[in-house]
């Protein structure tokens, strides 16, 4: 493998990444062996800055319920969530559907920040090390939405930091979880460079819910199990902006519809 004609074969992965990365507008050419054909290929990439919307929301058509979608727990997203919550409350929302479906997670600090917006006290998670010692990571004070009724949507694509948030909210009896059992990540992976240039990922810590429940390979089971049909696609706030109330209710996102039903009946915790 080459990066701009420099042979990087056998280099640690972090060194390869440093050679590939570049400023917006710059180009890099990667030379690699196609595993299917065996041919050597060159691919030129132009770097650009992409602004990812990790937090989006929309008032669900025909309701006063906000659909709040978190796509990734990337750096700084807690501040984006706080801004969204301020807008949601200014609009007079009566409830929130926190959508963590197909969110594979991200940064632990952001998971703590997100969970803390909805929890008034207690812990967000327990971290267990290789010696079996557990450390509680507490809720950060000053959450903006600790009382508003809410429901959390999860599915098999909910992982890592998103599972931490779901587990913390469930253990605190803050809101019902609706959907499917989550992915089951639950470990902290650290990378170690080996003498032959390869890299090994080793689980050095384990995440547990505040009540000590294991997430690894088990996931977080919802309070209400609702499975989507194979051809159904979860709605997003962007989809809903052009929908009528009738179109929403006639749709195939049965998990979201159940969340609306729960909040409309006043059975969301708060």
- Kindly report whether the global pTM for this prediction surpasses the value 0.85: no
13 and 61, same domain (yes or no): no
pLDDT in tens, the chain (270 residues): 788 888 878 776 567 677 777 777 888 888 877 766 778 888 888 877 655 689 999 999 999 999 999 999 998 999 999 999 999 999 999 999 999 999 998 899 999 999 999 999 999 999 998 889 999 999 999 999 999 999 999 999 999 999 999 999 999 999 999 999 999 998 765 667 777 766 666 667 899 999 999 999 999 999 999 999 999 999 999 999 999 999 999 999 999 999 999 999 986 665
16 and 135, same domain (yes or no): no
108 and 68, same domain (yes or no): yes
Half-sphere exposure at residue 265, Cβ-oriented, CA atoms within 13 angstroms = 8
**Residue 70's closest CA among 102, 94, 116?**
102
63 and 161, same domain (yes or no): yes
Residue 35: inside a domain: yes
For residue 190, the model assigns a pLDDT of 60
104 and 191, same domain (yes or no): yes
Phi-psi region of 194 (alpha: psi -120 to 50; beta: other; left: phi over 0): beta
Residue 129: inside a domain: yes
Using CA atoms, how far residue 232 sits from 208, 228, 265, in Å, is 32, 6, 25
For residue 14, the model assigns a pLDDT of 60
Residue ranges of alpha helices (H) inside the chain are 13-20, 77-90, 108-118, 161-171, 237-240, 245-249, 254-264
39 and 68, same domain (yes or no): no
104 and 147, same domain (yes or no): yes
The residue out of 29, 46, 63 marking a domain boundary is 46
15 and 145, same domain (yes or no): no
- CATH number of the domain within which 213 lies: 3.90.226.10
Q: What is the CA radius of gyration of the chain?
A: 21
74 and 31, same domain (yes or no): no
Residue 218: inside a domain: yes
Number of domains in the chain: 2
For residue 220, the model assigns a pLDDT of 98
42 and 67, same domain (yes or no): no
Using CA atoms, how far residue 37 sits from 8, 40, 41, 213, 234, in Å, is 21, 9, 10, 47, 37
159 and 35, same domain (yes or no): no
Residue 270: inside a domain: no
For residue 166, the model assigns a pLDDT of 98
Residue 269: inside a domain: no
For residue 2, the model assigns a pLDDT of 83
For residue 189, the model assigns a pLDDT of 58
62 and 31, same domain (yes or no): no
- Domain residues for the domain of 22 are 2-46
Residue 79: inside a domain: yes
């Amino acid at each position: 493998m080459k990066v701009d004609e420099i042979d990087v074969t056998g280099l640690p992965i972090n060194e390869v990444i440093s050679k590939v990365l570049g400023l917006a507008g710059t180009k890099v050419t990667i030379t690699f062996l196609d595993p299917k054909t065996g041919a050597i290929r060159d691919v030129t990439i132009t770097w650009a800055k992409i602004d990812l919307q990790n937090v989006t929301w929309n008032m669900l058509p025909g309701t006063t319920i906000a659909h709040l979608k978190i796509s990734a727990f990337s750096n700084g997203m807690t501040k984006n969530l706080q801004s969204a919550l301020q807008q949601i409350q200014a609009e007079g929302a009566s409830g929130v559907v926190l959508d963590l479906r197909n969110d594979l997670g991200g940064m632990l600090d952001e998971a703590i920040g997100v969970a803390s917006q909805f929890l008034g006290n207690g812990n967000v998670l327990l971290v267990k090390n290789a010696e079996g010692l557990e450390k509680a990571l507490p809720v950060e004070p000053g959450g903006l939405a600790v009382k508003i009724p809410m429901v959390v949507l999860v599915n098999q694509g909910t992982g890592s930091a998103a599972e931490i948030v779901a587990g913390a909210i469930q253990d605190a009896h803050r809101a019902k979880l609706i959907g499917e059992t989550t992915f089951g990540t639950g470990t902290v992976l650290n990378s170690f460079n080996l003498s032959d240039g390869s890299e090994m990922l080793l689980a050095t810590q384990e995440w547990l819910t505040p009540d000590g429940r294991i997430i690894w390979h088990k996931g977080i089971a919802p309070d209400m199990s609702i499975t989507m049909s194979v051809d159904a696609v979860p709605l997003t706030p962007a989809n809903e902006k052009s929908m009528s109330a009738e179109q929403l209710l006639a749709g195939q996102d049965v998990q979201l519809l159940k969340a609306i039903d729960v909040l409309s009946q006043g059975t969301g915790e708060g």
